[in-house]
Amino acid sequence: MTVSIKVRYFASLKELLGRSEDMLEFEQVLSVADVWRQATEAKVMPDNTLAALNMEYVDLACIVADGDEVAFFPPVTGG
């Protein structure tokens, strides 16, 4: 079974990676953290990065399914 997902990066993460999104296909079930590792070639995720699955914030251990959209956001700072 192939799992196809869209991965989106926002703000400084977009700049860090040099792109705003990826379309990925996997042969196995992955967590949100696994998606980050696969999509970024194992770059270290910045501390306090937020993740959303289908526009709802989730824990990095959340499992993705075929057709899902995963988004990563840098921590928001105020001031």
Level-2 CATH architecture, domain 3-73? Roll (3.10)
Determine the average pLDDT of the residues in 15-19.
Answer: 94
pTM of the predicted model as reported, rounded to 2 decimal places = 0.91
Render pLDDT for 29-75 as a digit per residue (tens, 0 to 9).
Answer: 899 999 999 999 989 999 899 999 999 999 999 999 999 999 999 97
Extract the runs of DSSP E, i.e. beta strands, from the chain: 3-9, 21-26, 50-53, 56-58, 69-73
Domain chopping of the chain, boundaries? 3-73
Q: Where are the alpha helices (DSSP H) in the chain?
A: 12-17, 32-39
